């Protein structure tokens, strides 16, 4: 027995615990559920972008044989929205529509054809209003207000002015400005939105399976919209086909499914088309950024002065948070003291934007990393040297009171510089090839939750019964990111047992403890810590039982995971025997674990909204992108990406690699091809072909370096891994194009037509503003 050691589960590449279901087709997504007499739910959407609804007649639809329910705003008890201070949406439009495609009414019928016919029979009279499709139009003098309580069509103006920007800018050796425009992008998760709702008319209870990242928020909003007691609703999260922020707030389709099921007193399935999923949107807003940076001749940044304007769409959604992130996250990556920010979130007659992966930070990072790359070139400094001249020293607090407790950016820089052979190859590539680099960071969950109830940030239950298996009950939403696997790893590692002992039950409001959901990269950090806490509590119970059985003191029990013993000479007890002893006289064991953030991480009070950005830990990333540009077609090929990500501790190195590769690649789509686009409010690219999601053909090899600058409070030192690498790709790409072709791209996506325009302008200008010309 001497050689026995606890089983190691953390730091080991582990396949996902729900991988077999996914590879055999057994995983059940919302649209896969089917019960006898399931009704088809369909939504009638506004054909106009902005109008008052002056009349609606649903009587013909209701009279159509096969129609079981028609719902409108009259069936809704209240508004909904993700931020308690900005709930201004109705599941079905009340009195006014504010974007083309906004849900107006919905039907439940025996089949698709009947449901469609019923929608055609609903008569709605619209009195059209002027519609605004750009932030400028919506802000113009005299524009009609989308919401009466939002003067100027401004959702939120945000600002801060920290340090002494004017003085520090004046002390710089070089001051330069950049203006960037980035198109709106959409998450386009593979699974279109779907909800399966069952209503038990005898008991007046709703059971619902929504495709969501936030079952708890959906639960709250269902109760609010339907006027039902929260305890009469059961929310069960099925398998989820990706999220990336598109389902980080309650969607109308979730609420409509509940409303239809109740009215029909039946089971209703609402499955949106891909076009409707695009229209539901909640993506990243079109943004216009101006930025001025001051730099010393050695690369030290003295001050940043910037403005961000976002076209937010028709409703509040996450808007206030998005615009605040766009400002606050200028801090936390580099040692910047003086910064001034002015942000405007504008309401427009386009689908509402939301919290896309890298929430709020991406476009600001694009502007900043492009600008300092140009300034480095002008000062004759290597891009790596400029970044290294501005490193932070953890632990520290930033000027806007963000806690930086661990910091691996220096190691990230070292890794990508070496892996890409930057110093030997940069500047020496053949014509039309180039290399660019950039850095980025992201939070590991917001330290102040949106719904501040005083509860811990995360709660985990562990249950052990007679079969000596461990059931891990978590409200955290597994959406494909591997959260259930990470939690099982944390529990197995703490107990020293094999992961096969652990069954994870994720997100069923009747069984699992409340959790705020999967967003802002909070789960590994917060729920991981709660998992460790629960496992420690369970271990203490098992050690007590072992001590009792072995007739020794608890301090003398040696826990080897599968064996508990009194010393090397003791044969000890198996895990199963210990469990039997623990159950004796007590029955099934349930223990709890929790996690709370520390007050130092809550963000500051120096300006309105300063809590946004406050987090327990930042991840850090650096990447190098190598490109080839066709000088005639301006088509860019990404040849290779090297990316290093500081995740504190790679609990599951396989999953970390997968998350980082996915982030970089998603940044690539946004940088090179993806944009929604509207004509008079009509989506121009509401399908995956016109929207131009990259295929496997144009997707590059992505080599990942895992950096582990352990966080003092992280679970085994871990921090987030699923978002921080995204934003760096955009500037690394345009920096590589600048290296290859000598042009600075300020508009994204950098499609061939946009790049060709830049190349032609450069040729007309006689190659000015270029350090290395095209072929």
Partner 1 sequence: MKTVLSLTVNGVAHDDVIPDNMLLVDYLREKTGLTGTKIGCDGGECGACTVLIDDRPRHACLTLAATCQDSRIETVDGLSRDSRLTALQRGFNEKLGAQCGFCTPGMIMASEALLRRNPDPSEADIRDALAANICRCTGYVKIIEAVQFAAQELASGELAS
Q: Residue numbers of the site for partner 1 (CB under 8 A)?
A: 15-16, 18-29, 31-32, 34, 187-192, 239-242, 244, 271, 273-275, 479-482, 654-655, 657-658, 661-662, 664-666, 668, 687-689, 693, 695-697, 699, 701-702
All residues at 6 or more sequence positions from 566 whose CB lies less than 8 Å from its CB, including other chains: 550, 552, 556, 557, 558, 572
- Residue 648 in contact with residue 753, Cβ under 8 Å? no
Which of 16/256 has CB closer to partner 1? 16
Length of the chain: 775
Which of 333/704 has CB closer to partner 1? 704
Q: Which residues pair with 80 in a beta bridge?
A: 89
Which of 13/74 has CB closer to partner 1? 13
All residues at 6 or more sequence positions from 681 whose CB lies less than 8 Å from its CB, including other chains: 48, 49, 50, 99, 100, 131, 133, 349, 350
CA neighbours within 13 Å on the CB side: how many for 508? 11
How many C-beta atoms surround the C-beta of residue 141 within 10 A?
5
How many C-beta atoms surround the C-beta of residue 353 within 10 A?
30
Residue 689 has φ and ψ, to the nearest 5°, of -80, -50
Which stretches within 552-701 are classed as H helix? Answer: 575-583, 653-672
End-to-end CA distance of the chain: give it in Å, rounded: 70
Which of 241/354 has CB closer to partner 1? 241
Which of 243/299 has CB closer to partner 1? 243
Q: Which residues pair with 702 in a beta bridge?
A: 641
Which of 249/657 has CB closer to partner 1? 657
Cα Rg of the chain, angstroms: 27
Instruction: Tell me the helices (H) and strands (E) count for the chain, helix number first.
Output: 19, 31
Which of 386/702 has CB closer to partner 1? 702
CA angle 35/36/39 to nearest 5° reads: 80
Q: How far is the CB of 339 from partner 1 (least distance, A)?
A: 33
Which of 192/496 has CB closer to partner 1? 192
Element (H, E) at 729: helix 726-741
Report helix, strand or coil for 359. coil
Which of 1/28 has CB closer to partner 1? 28
- Residue 386 in contact with residue 372, Cβ under 8 Å? yes
Which of 419/756 has CB closer to partner 1? 419
Q: How far is the CB of 274 from partner 1 (least distance, A)?
A: 4
How many C-beta atoms surround the C-beta of residue 382 within 10 A?
17
Q: Which DSSP letter does residue 522 get?
A: -
Q: How far is the CB of 16 from partner 1 (least distance, A)?
A: 7
Report helix, strand or coil for 682. strand
All residues at 6 or more sequence positions from 46 whose CB lies less than 8 Å from its CB, including other chains: 93, 97, 99, 100, 101, 102, 103, 104, 126
Cα–Cα nearest to 445, from 393, 517, 502, 512: 517
- Residue 276 in contact with residue 195, Cβ under 8 Å? no
Q: Which residues pair with 563 in a beta bridge?
A: 574
**Angle between helices 319-328 and 362-379 in degrees, nearest 10:** 20
Q: How far is the CB of 329 from partner 1 (least distance, A)?
A: 23
Which of 502/616 has CB closer to partner 1? 502
Q: How far is the CB of 215 from partner 1 (least distance, A)?
A: 16
- Residue 688 in contact with residue 274, Cβ under 8 Å? yes
Which of 482/614 has CB closer to partner 1? 482
Which of 233/686 has CB closer to partner 1? 686
Which stretches within 625-702 are classed as H helix? Answer: 653-672
Cα–Cα nearest to 365, from 348, 347, 346, 387: 387
Cα–Cα nearest to 462, from 472, 454, 452: 472
Which of 72/189 has CB closer to partner 1? 189
- Residue 159 in contact with residue 343, Cβ under 8 Å? yes
- Residue 587 in contact with residue 466, Cβ under 8 Å? no
Q: How far is the CB of 279 from partner 1 (least distance, A)?
A: 12
How many C-beta atoms surround the C-beta of residue 684 within 10 A?
11
**Whole-number Å distance between alpha carbons of 16 and 263:** 39
Which of 622/641 has CB closer to partner 1? 641
CA neighbours within 13 Å on the CB side: how many for 714? 32
Which of 374/675 has CB closer to partner 1? 675
- Cα 662 from chain centroid (whole Å): 12
Q: Which DSSP letter does residue 166 get?
A: H
Which of 27/143 has CB closer to partner 1? 27
Q: How far is the CB of 637 from partner 1 (least distance, A)?
A: 13
Which of 299/653 has CB closer to partner 1? 653
All residues at 6 or more sequence positions from 40 whose CB lies less than 8 Å from its CB, including other chains: 108, 109, 110, 111, 112, 114, 115, 268, 269
Pairing of strands 67-71, 103-109: antiparallel
């Amino acid at each position: 027995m001497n050689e026995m050691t606890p089983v190691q589960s953390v730091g080991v590449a582990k396949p996902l615990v729900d991988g077999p279901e996914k590879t055999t087709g057994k995983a059940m997504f919302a649209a896969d559920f089917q019960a006898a007499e399931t009704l088809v739910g369909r939504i009638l959407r506004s054909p106009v972008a902005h109008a008052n609804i002056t009349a609606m007649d649903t009587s013909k639809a209701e009279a159509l044989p096969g129609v079981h329910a028609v719902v409108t705003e009259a069936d809704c008890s209240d508004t909904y929205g993700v931020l308690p201070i900005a709930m201004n949406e109705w599941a079905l439009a009340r009195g006014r529509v504010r974007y083309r495609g906004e849900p107006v009414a919905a039907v439940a019928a025996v089949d698709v054809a009947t449901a469609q016919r019923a929608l055609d029979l609903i008569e709605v009279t619209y009195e059209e209003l002027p519609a605004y499709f750009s932030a400028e139009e919506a802000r113009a003098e005299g524009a009609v207000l989308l919401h009466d309580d939002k003067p100027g069509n401004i959702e939120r103006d945000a600002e801060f002015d920290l340090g002494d920007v004017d003085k520090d800018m004046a002390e710089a050796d070089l001051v330069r400005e950049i203006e960037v425009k980035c198109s709106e992008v959409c998450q386009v998760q593979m699974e279109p939105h779907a909800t399966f709702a069952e209503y038990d008319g005898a008991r007046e209870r709703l059971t619902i399976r929504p495709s969501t990242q936030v079952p708890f928020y959906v639960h709250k909003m269902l109760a609010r919209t339907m006027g039902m007691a929260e305890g009469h609703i059961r929310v069960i999260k099925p398998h989820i086909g990706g999220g990336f922020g598109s389902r980080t707030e309650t969607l109308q389709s979730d609420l409509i499914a509940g409303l239809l099921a109740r009215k029909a007193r039946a089971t209703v399935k609402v499955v949106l088309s891909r076009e409707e999923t695009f229209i539901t949107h909640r993506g990243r807003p079109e943004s216009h950024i101006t930025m001025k940076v001051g730099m010393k001749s050695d690369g030290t940044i003295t001050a940043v002065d910037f403005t961000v304007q976002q076209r937010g769409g028709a409703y509040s959604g996450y808007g206030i948070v998005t615009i605040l992130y766009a400002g606050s996250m200028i801090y936390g990556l580099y040692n910047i003291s003086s910064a001034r920010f002015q942000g405007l979130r504008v309401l427009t007659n386009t689908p509402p934007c939301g919290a896309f992966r890298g929430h709020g930070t991406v476009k600001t990072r694009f502007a900043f990393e492009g600008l300092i790359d140009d300034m480095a070139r002008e000062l004759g400094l290597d891009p790596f040297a400029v970044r290294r001249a501005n490193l932070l020293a953890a632990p520290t607090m930033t000027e806007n009171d963000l806690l930086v407790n661990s910091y691996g950016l220096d190691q990230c820089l070292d890794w990508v510089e070496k892996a890409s052979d930057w110093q030997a190859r940069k500047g020496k590539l053949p014509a039309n090839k180039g290399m660019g680099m950039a850095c980025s960071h992201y939070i590991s969950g917001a330290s102040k939750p949106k719904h501040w109830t005083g509860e811990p940030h995360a709660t985990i239950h562990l249950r052990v019964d007679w079969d000596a298996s461990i059931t891990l009950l978590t409200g955290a939403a597994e959406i494909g990111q591997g959260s259930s696997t990470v939690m099982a790893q944390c529990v197995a590692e703490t107990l020293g047992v094999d992961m096969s002992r652990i069954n994870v039950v994720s997100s069923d409001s009747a069984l699992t403890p409340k959790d705020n959901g999967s967003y802002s990269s909070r789960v590994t950090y917060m729920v991981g810590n709660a998992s460790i806490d629960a496992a420690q509590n369970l271990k203490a119970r098992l050690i007590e039982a072992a001590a009792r059985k072995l007739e020794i003191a608890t301090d003398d029990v040696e826990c080897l995971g599968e064996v508990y013993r009194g010393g090397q000479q003791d044969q000890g007890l198996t895990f199963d025997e210990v469990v039997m002893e623990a159950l004796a006289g007590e029955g099934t064991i349930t223990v709890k674990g929790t996690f709370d953030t520390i007050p130092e991480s809550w963000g500051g009070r120096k300006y309105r909204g300063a809590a946004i950005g406050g987090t327990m830990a930042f991840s850090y990333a650096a990447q190098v992108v190598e490109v080839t540009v066709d000088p005639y077609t301006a088509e860019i090929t990404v040849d290779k990406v090297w990316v290093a990500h500081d995740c504190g501790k790679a609990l599951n190195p396989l999953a970390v690699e997968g998350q980082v590769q996915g982030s970089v690649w998603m940044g690539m789509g946004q940088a090179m091809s993806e944009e929604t686009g509207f004509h008079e409010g009509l989506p121009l690219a509401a399908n995956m072909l016109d929207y131009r999601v990259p295929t496997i053909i144009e997707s590059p090899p992505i080599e990942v370096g895992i950096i582990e600058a352990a966080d003092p409070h992280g679970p085994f030192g871990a921090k987030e891994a699923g978002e921080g690498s995204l934003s760096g790709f955009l500037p690394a790409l345009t920096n590589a194009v600048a290296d290859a072709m000598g042009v600075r791209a300020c508009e994204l996506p950098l499609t061939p037509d946009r790049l060709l325009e830049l190349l032609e302008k450069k040729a007309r200008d006689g190659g000015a503003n270029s350090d290395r010309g095209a072929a």
